[in-house]
Amino acid sequence: MLAGEADLTISIGAVAPQQQQATTYWASAHPIKDYVRVDDSVSIYYEVHGLPPGGSLEQAQHLPKVVMIMGLACGCSAWQWQLQDLVQQHQLTPDYTAPNSRNPSAHGGHPADSPHQMHQQQQLCAWSAEEQGSLKQRQWQQEQLQQLQQELARQQMLVCVMDNRGMGLSSCPQDSAAYSTSIMARDVLAVMDQLRWDKAHVLGFSMGGMIAQCLAVAAPSRIASLTLLSTSAGGWQIVPTHSWSGLKTALRMMTARSAEDAADATLRFHFRRRTLKAYLPQWAARRQDLLRREYLTAAGAPLQPPHGFKGQAAACWRHSLSAKEAAGIAAAGFPVLVVHGRSDKLASPANAEALARRLQAPCVLLPGAHFIVRECAGQINMLLSNLVWGRQHIMAADNTPYLDPSPSLLKAWKQLDAQSCACGVPAAAAAAAAAAGVGAAGQQAGVLAVACAAAAAAGPASANRKVITRIPRKPAPASSTQQQLVDTITSPDDTDANTTQAAAQPQLPQEFSNSADASSSSSSSSSGSSFRWLEHWYPVHVEAMADPARPHAVTLLGKQLVLWRDGRGQWQCMQDACPHRLAPLSEGRIEADGTLQCSYHGWRFDSSGRCTDIPQALDAKAKAVACASSRSCVTAYPTRQQYGLIWVWPSAGPAAAQQAAAAHLPVSQKLQEAWAAGNSPTWYRRLLPYSWDILVENLSDPSHLPFSHHRLFPGLTRAAGGPMPFSAVDIPAGDSPEARAARPKYAMAHQAPLAAFEYPAGFTAGGVVAYTPPCAVVYEGKGSFVQTELLAVPSGPGQALVFTAGVSSAAKVQGGDVLKALLTNPKQVPMLLMRMKMARAPTYQSHLRSNKLFDQDGAFLHMQDVELARRGRGSWAKEYYSPVSCDSAIIAGRRWADAALQQPLNPADPSSPTAAAAFTLTKPPAQRATKQQINDRMNQHTKHCSILGDAAAKEVEQFVYVEYSHADNH
């Protein structure tokens, strides 16, 4: 439609009547061609096919009648694949030879001469050589052929096709107000009135389907059945916002430099990739090569007037089918059928299914793209035949013959090739010069959208000349790798980690040493020596990923916990040990009443951790006494569900619950605003095989991206790596209203970052990286509408949880935004298309991309963690050599972690281990892990992610383990 339906007829424009007559090539013996006067300035051209030889229209009034309405920028000749089946005279003979798919000379010189006839005769006339020798068999064959001829004679129909106003031989009003789908529906009624057809089966394709909807609303008594092909309810639905590939194809068509480029882009709209890539031995070519030549042969036909295209496009845009009108069609009593291509890049199949539901009609999805009147012609013709004759057919049809070049086109090609060889003229030039002679063969598929766009912009002078736009390609703006990391919901890469002794700490350059102090908050998190690990919220799972039907084992700060959803739909967290025999409750079951049952002996616990059932108790009194004992209870921790995550407060008791209720979640202001505006982020979660401090280092280091993630995104290559001087960002600390108001949106409202540094443009557009202990790392890209939110959660020794999300405050991109940017600011188009692609891509695809990113870092981060444990975590200042300023964020974080990791995990408990002992690797493992163990996607991510569903089954190897080697990534 607006972006791509313009490619539905290759000849756009006024075709002289004598030329139209000379180029009619479908199998209709005596078509009627006439005009109907709609008003003083508009006449509509139409044709009626299916009249028997020597018969008149009056004599054929008893036959079923079909009206076919074509789409935007399409002439009536585009219905040729339906007409050659539905109205031809079938002549069957016993000695008929079935066509050979490998011999184009079979059956009248070409396999496409009569597809429907071939299908019917193949069913009845295929017998073996031995059977042909049997007289009885031949007699039976004669009887069957006679019956089939009689049946076909009874199944003739009249088919009316027409050029919509603004196209072909119909009038083309200058004023856009003269175009609307309701006005064009009145044109169809005028044609039916002149033909004296009281009722007809109506078939509408694309824009024609919109016209058919208006016709059914305006005159339901004139409709025998309604078939809607590749259409929608209008408005925004005509823009291909559902398909990243569709938008990319539309952009490629509009910026095509040559007719060949435009033809290839148009073919991608019309046909499935599988159809185009099919190799045809009989032609020694791919299907795409044959179709491209058809399109190029037809590119020289007269153009549709630009005001005609604009008027039809405006009619599509203004069309809208209201709920009341849809209900009226559904209640009218005639059969309605919606047919669509599963791979349609132009009109969304989801919109077709929604339209079918509104019309209370069946929706048939065929294996084709937008131009199903050709790609699925056999099935379309069978469906229409069913509606007309009220039959039930098996949906089996061979669509291949309809995709082959027609005999008239082959004849034209032969002439062109001979002309080219004799005169030395290039074949493409000869094709354009002889396009007028090809005629209707050039109207088979549709106009190149690039030619339509050029004609629409060129004005009336270009109405009858060939126009091929040659828009110079502007260099794409340098892609921001940071923005791509944001959009793909990934996290940065690898970095070393170490704890430092104060006397041996490397010193930050002067310009950075002040900033770390200046940006420090007065809160407890800004000072590692006073940090309390148990008095903060930590995310442990993603709501959309966690399966509510079973309990989940999680590890937080070295504690083994169980996460489960109770009968009220609230997620709860308890110690993962049954008080009976310390069996893990994460291996238990969630009962119908919402309690958690231990699978070992059946003890059950409610959301507060209280034991509610002990099956082994002798009687009710003994059970009540045992359940009332504090020893039968499980320690429960406060939980919270917000911003798409499940949060846990890792200390228990009434005081802890009160403190947790008053505490803030460690998310940025931008995430909070986006969530309030309905732009909820898509989170990714993975349990990584290295310690929390290593992960924080990795997430805070943008300088490693071009090396660790070479070629992960366009423009992200080793060659792009280089100097990255950091400059400190001064962010006000404190809890005063002034300080809170002055903090940027990437910071938290209640707490300033420990360190924030601005990095310059290079392989990225530049931006800011900020770290707020203990978990939050944020990347704000310069000029970007999205920021990357990263959360590093201390899990256990040699393990850390990571959560990543792209946070956007911008409105969802629509197709109209892309088209507007294309006309006003083309530099915005790549980013808009990327945003649309990411918004519409299945979630599991973003998980695959994030899996790959963490795989790339996994091996050397795990080995770094092991090596640091071997040398001593407190020796990082001695072991690290950091002479570059881009390590500033890492050094600032290490200074804080030195003190914080030495604090007892629970200061109230004298026997409590230090944080370092609880969740960092202090001793190297006895055996080195393999890469398969390090990048074990199944156990680290997939089995904890319920949203993967069938995707994991279809691409299971990508969710389990993928081998990655930096040495092979050139």
112: left (phi over 0), alpha (psi -120 to 50) or beta: alpha
SS3 800: strand
Question: Which runs of consecutive H residues, i.e. helices, occur in 872-943?
Answer: 876-879, 888-900, 915-919, 931-934, 937-940
C-alpha span between 496 and 875 (Å, rounded): 12
CA angle in degrees (0–180, nearest 5) for 529-530-531: 100
Which is it for strands 645-648 and 639-642: parallel, antiparallel or unpaired?
A: antiparallel
The DSSP secondary-structure symbol of 587 reads G
C-alpha span between 167 and 14 (Å, rounded): 7
CB–CB of 345/318 below 8 Å?
A: no
pLDDT for 408 = 63
DSSP letters, 722-761, are: -----EE-----SSSHHHHHHS-TTS-SS---SEEEEE--
CA angle in degrees (0–180, nearest 5) for 377-278-401: 30
Q: Return the structure tokens found at 794.
A: 């201390």
SS3 819: helix
CB–CB of 560/577 below 8 Å?
A: yes
> Phi, psi at residue 780, to the nearest 5°?
-115, 110
Nearest to 765 by CA among 786, 736, 749, 740: 786
C-alpha span between 183 and 171 (Å, rounded): 13
Q: Which amino acid is at 564?
A: W
Q: Return the structure tokens found at 635.
A: 């320690």
Count the helix, strand and coil residues of the chain and give each as a percent rounded to the nearest 5.
45, 15, 45
Q: Return the structure tokens found at 88.
A: 């031809």
Q: Which amino acid is at 528?
A: G
Q: Return the structure tokens found at 187.
A: 């044109």
Q: Return the structure tokens found at 649.
A: 């407060």
Residues 6+ apart with CB under 8 A from 546: 552, 563, 565, 571, 646, 944, 946
pLDDT for 727 = 85
**In this structure, what is the dihedral angle of CA atoms 354, 356, 357, 363, given to the nearest 10 degrees?**
-100
DSSP run (H or E) holding 112: none
**Residue 480 CA, distance from chain mean position:** 22
SS3 562: strand
Q: Return the structure tokens found at 967.
A: 């040495």
Instruction: Give me the count of residues in the chain.
Output: 970
Q: Return the structure tokens found at 630.
A: 């504090």
C-alpha span between 800 and 677 (Å, rounded): 31
Nearest to 158 by CA among 192, 126, 128: 192
CA atoms within 13 A on the CB side of 726: 31
Q: Return the structure tokens found at 558.
A: 């070295």
Radius of gyration of the chain (CA): 36
Q: Return the structure tokens found at 535.
A: 């008095």
CA angle in degrees (0–180, nearest 5) for 808-814-820: 110
pLDDT for 735 = 79
DSSP letters, 348-390, are: -HHHHHHHHHHHT--EEEES--S-HHHHTHHHHHHHHHHHHHT
Edge to edge, what strands does the sheet with 200-205 contain? 32-37, 43-49, 158-162, 65-69, 200-205, 223-229, 336-341, 363-366
**In this structure, what is the dihedral angle of CA atoms 516, 519, 522, 526, given to the nearest 10 degrees?**
-50
Count CB neighbours of 321 within 10 A: 23
Please list the ranges in the chain whose pLDDT falls under 50.
1-28, 89-133, 300, 393-396, 420, 422-525, 950, 952-957, 967-968, 970
pLDDT for 581 = 92
Q: N- to C-terminal Cα distance for the chain? A: 42
Nearest to 1 by CA among 247, 346, 244: 346
Question: Which runs of consecutive H residues, i.e. helices, occur in 608-704?
Answer: 620-628, 654-662, 669-676, 692-699
Q: Return the structure tokens found at 705.
A: 């991206």
